[in-house]
Amino acid sequence: MIHLGLDLGHESERAAEHWLYDLVQQLGRPAGAVACTHLTHRPVPHVAASLAVPRGAVAAELLAALPPVAPELREAAEHAAAAHAAGRGGRATVFPGVERLTGTLPVAELLDVSAIERVTVIGGAPAGPDTLVDTRDHVRPQWRDGVLTLVTTPAPGGRIAPFEVPNPTPCCADHV
Amino acid sequence: MGHSHHPHTHPHDHDHDHHAGPSDVPPALDLSVPDSELSPADVSRRGLLRGAGLLGAGVAAGSVLAQPSPAHAHGDGGQREAKGGFHWLAGDHHIHTQYSSDAMYRVVDQARHARANGLDWMVVTDHGSVAHAKIGVEKVNPDIRAAREQLKDLLIYQGLEWNIPAAEHATVFVAPGRNEVAVLKEFENAYDGSVVGAGDPTPANEALAIAGIRFLGEAVRKRRIDGALFLANHPARRGIDSPHEVRGWRDADPSVAIGMEGAPGHQAAGLPRATAGRARGYYDNNPSAASFPGYPLESYRTWGGFDWMTATVGGLWDSLLAEGKPWWISANSDSHVNYLDTAQRGPGGDFNTDGRYPDPVYGPLLTEAGDYWPGQYSRTHVGAGSFSYRAVMDGLRAGRVWVDHGGLISGLDVRARVAGDRRRDSGTPLGGVLRVKRGTSVELTIDVDLAGTPNWSQFVPVLARVDVIAGLVTGPVADRDTFTAPTAKVVKSFEVGKGTGRVSFTYALGRVDEPCYLRVRGTDGNRSAPGLMGAGVDPSGPAMDVIGAADPWLDLWFYGNPIWVLPS
């Protein structure tokens, strides 16, 4: 795999992951590609990104045409690439099988059809292979200890659901 | 405290040998004595002390460790009936009206419900914003003054929900007076993160937050207002209130920055509903670039309806208490739009031009709303010396505060005492400091008035268990981003064996050789899980609330503020 650090200084994960999604499309959706967002404070709080693609899966000229990283963001981009490569950090927004993770499916199937290697639960008992995952059509696993891990929490009806909800409440929501 | 100046008090005696006795604390320092009962000379002295930032629990050096004991203020019976020597006044410091861009009710709508739901005091905290700073903060004041006239038995403070520069929101409110609007307006225009564009988590913006709190303290010292208080709202919701910021606010002026919401409002938001469920307290965020990187994912959810900073035994709250820093918790409604109400915003109008929405009109049943009326579910109980604006603020500042959800209990009197002392008005209450000679035997007495009447869901809650949590006071931390307290743990759990009346428990600390603090919590026992620091620290703590399946009436807790015991 080639691990590339990318960084356009996005303020939010949502903006960064839209950009990453489009980028992967432009690269021809190479099989095995994993694109991650990374929260960073280097040099100011923002969202960096990383992209891993199998060697040879993308033409060299296409990779060379990736948007340049501004000098002040290079450290963050390099850190993102290193964390991704080591499996220490990064929240995957594009990864093999992500398109299969919709609706509700058992943990075993989720592990089988996607690159996710582990499902953990916080605030509840560990999940078994038959535990149903309500994906909410929004699954964002993270690199932890070298393992692409989906962190979940208990959900209604004895199910579990990804910790990250697709539409978190804004800080001054109109609560009507 | 000096009971001698209280001509009407019962002539009880205090144990001068074992803790700071009554005569050690002059009346001006004793916040349980309302200003109205002080001599003119003492009023003046209190003003000076307050002006110098020397009044309030543990305020002098920013720690309970480094000062005599103005915090040792226990109550006197007074001429009116008062439990444990205090008038326990229930309130809510976080309420929105039609002057908030995301709310809708009139001031009097909120006030009438607050009073009907049993509250004695409330704070109007409309969101800081350009429109609010320009228009709303002034326009809401006549409504508040009219509501004060209409509801004489309800204390209604004006405040605002401050967008803390670089951080979350906070309640800021002031004592009523001729400058209440002027001070709030000046504060909002100069220090609101939204108004001045200082939301990003930069060192400069963090410094602006500190300056804002100091401004409020200055306004009190200059006697423009009689009092100003700050409480951090929903502090763990988005992970952007870092531990060093919390410490920074507190240390900027402990007579102003007194604490945080132990439990957020929006407690109906987690109820199951037809649409995709939300989180209790609307705590459904993820870490963002602005978040403090050290906070775990667990911090972004509520636990038994409480904020992770409070709910975690051995967590952030305990880390402040272990430093000897007074830092209190509260509970509130954050009422914007209330669950199962039948109102909607009135038609027409323009918020940005008018600074408010038109008065509400009759509308469809609000099954998707996430809030309760003030006092309907969450209450903050303050031990006040009298029914007055100043006494409630003094009680809050002194930490004589406990909070409950759903009317789990109706009264709580917790005192640290020299072992065996059971006189009615001895002992050190919530928020206080008991100073004893090293080796003195000390007890914590807990008197709980069980719920005798139905709550606002029309059932009588049943208390199942009371936990005592204790930790050693280990002094200042080297790293101001510390958010753990390794010695804090549940030291005792009492099962409650009856359903009505009063239950009393005693926890014996034994001979006290090291400075420590104690706090209590209780639960209906419906939902529990081992605490985040492990079952050895908290075997049956609050469980994480499930998004879309959190019925707040079936998971009730109360929490008391701490009491310190300092041997010397």
Q: What is the ipTM of this complex?
A: 0.95
Interface touch A47/B289, C-beta < 8 Å = yes
Interface touch B278/A169, C-beta < 8 Å = yes
Interface touch A155/B201, C-beta < 8 Å = no
Q: Pick the residue from chain A with its C-alpha nearest to B201.
A: A45
CA distance linking residue B476 with residue B319, whole number of Å: 9
DSSP state of B136: I
Interface touch B289/A123, C-beta < 8 Å = no
CA distance linking residue B97 with residue B335, whole number of Å: 8
Residues of A in contact with B334 (CB under 8 A): none
Q: Pick the residue from chain A with its C-alpha nearest to B194.
A: A172
DSSP state of B529: B
Residues of B in contact with A141 (CB under 8 A): none
Q: Spell out the residues 6+ positions from residue B15 whose beta carbon is closer than 8 angstroms to its own.
A: B21, B418, B421, B426
Contact A58, A27 (CB under 8 A): yes
Instruction: Give the C-alpha distances (Å, rounded to integers) separating A6 from A43, A46, A61, A86.
Output: 15, 12, 16, 16
Q: Pick the residue from chain A with its C-alpha nearest to B203.
A: A44
CA distance linking residue B285 with residue B228, whole number of Å: 31
Token pair listed for B173: 């409110």
Burial of B70 (0-12, 13-18, 19+ CB in 10 A): buried
Tell me how crowded residue B420 is: count the other CB atoms within 10 A of its CB: 8
Backbone angles phi, psi at A29, to 5 degrees: 45, 60
Q: Pick the residue from chain B with its C-alpha nearest to A136.
A: B276
What sections of B362-430 are H helices per DSSP? 389-398
Q: Which residues 171-200 of chain B have a CB within 8 Å of chain A? A: 200
Q: Identify the CA nearest to A6 among candidates A116, A96, A97, A83.
A: A83
Cα–chain center distance at B172 = 12
Positive or negative, the CA dihedral B40, B45, B49, B52 is positive
For chain B, say whether A176 makes contact (Cβ under 8 Å).
yes
Query: What's the confidence (pLDDT) of residue A33?
Result: 96
- B288 vs A13, A163, A173: nearest CB: A13
Interface touch B544/A173, C-beta < 8 Å = no
Q: Pick the residue from chain A with its C-alpha nearest to B292.
A: A41
- A172 vs B101, B371, B529: nearest CB: B101
What H or E segment, with its residue span, contains residue B48? helix B40-51
For chain A, say whether B529 makes contact (Cβ under 8 Å).
yes
CA distance linking residue B125 with residue B97, whole number of Å: 8
Antiparallel, parallel or unpaired: β B502-512 and B440-450: antiparallel
A interface test, pick of B284, B345, B365 with most A CB neighbours within 10 Å: B284
Burial of A111 (0-12, 13-18, 19+ CB in 10 A): middle
Q: Pick the residue from chain A with its C-alpha nearest to B303.
A: A123
CA distance linking residue B465 with residue B558, whole number of Å: 10
Interface touch A163/B297, C-beta < 8 Å = yes
Q: Identify the CA nearest to B343 among candidates B77, B110, B105, B26.
A: B105
For chain B, say whether A120 makes contact (Cβ under 8 Å).
no
A-to-B residue pairs, Cβ atoms closer than 8 angstroms: 94
- Nearest chain B Cα distance for residue A122, angstroms: 7
- A169 vs B284, B371, B543: nearest CB: B284
Torsion of CA B192, B196, B201, B206, to 10 degrees: -60
Token pair listed for B299: 């911090």
**pLDDT at A46 exceeding the cut of 90:** yes
Interface touch B293/A41, C-beta < 8 Å = yes
Residues of B in contact with A171 (CB under 8 A): 168-169, 237-238
CA distance linking residue B46 with residue B58, whole number of Å: 16
Contact B97, B124 (CB under 8 A): yes
Q: Pick the residue from chain A with its C-alpha nearest to B280.
A: A169
Residues of B in contact with A136 (CB under 8 A): 276
CA distance linking residue B232 with residue B283, whole number of Å: 15
Q: Pick the residue from chain A with its C-alpha nearest to B285.
A: A168
For chain A, say whether B336 makes contact (Cβ under 8 Å).
yes
Interface touch A45/B289, C-beta < 8 Å = yes
Q: Which residues 48-87 of chain A have a CB within 8 Å of chain B? A: none
For chain A, say whether B277 makes contact (Cβ under 8 Å).
yes
Tell me how crowded residue B423 is: count the other CB atoms within 10 A of its CB: 11
Can you give the pLDDT of all 568 residues of chain B as single tens digits? 333 333 333 333 333 333 333 333 455 555 656 666 676 666 665 665 554 444 444 443 478 877 544 333 333 333 334 566 799 999 999 999 999 999 999 999 999 999 999 999 999 999 999 999 999 999 999 999 999 999 999 999 999 999 999 999 999 999 999 999 999 999 999 999 999 999 999 999 999 999 999 999 999 999 999 999 999 999 999 999 999 999 999 999 999 999 999 999 999 999 998 877 899 999 999 999 999 999 999 999 999 999 999 999 999 999 999 999 999 999 999 999 999 999 999 999 999 999 999 999 999 999 999 999 999 999 999 999 999 999 999 999 999 999 999 999 999 999 999 999 988 778 999 999 999 999 999 999 999 999 999 999 999 999 999 999 999 999 999 999 999 999 999 999 999 988 889 999 999 999 999 999 999 999 999 999 999 999 999 999 999 999 999 999 999 999 999 999 999 9
- Single-letter code of the amino acid located at B78: G
B interface test, pick of A134, A175, A176 with most B CB neighbours within 10 Å: A175
Both ends of chain B: CA-CA distance in Å? 20
Beta bridge partners of B124: B95, B158
- Nearest chain A Cα distance for residue B65, angstroms: 36
Interface touch A39/B336, C-beta < 8 Å = no
Interface touch B336/A175, C-beta < 8 Å = yes
Contact B544, A123 (CB under 8 A): yes
Q: Identify the CA nearest to B522 among candidates B561, B468, B471, B470.
A: B468
- B286 vs A44, A155, A164: nearest CB: A164
Q: Pick the residue from chain B with its C-alpha nearest to A44.
A: B202
CA distance linking residue B491 with residue B154, whole number of Å: 39
Q: Pick the residue from chain B with its C-alpha nearest to A173.
A: B102
Q: Identify the CA nearest to A164 among candidates A142, A140, A132, A148.
A: A140
Residues of A in contact with B549 (CB under 8 A): 155-157
Token pair listed for B420: 């065996």
For chain B, say whether A31 makes contact (Cβ under 8 Å).
no
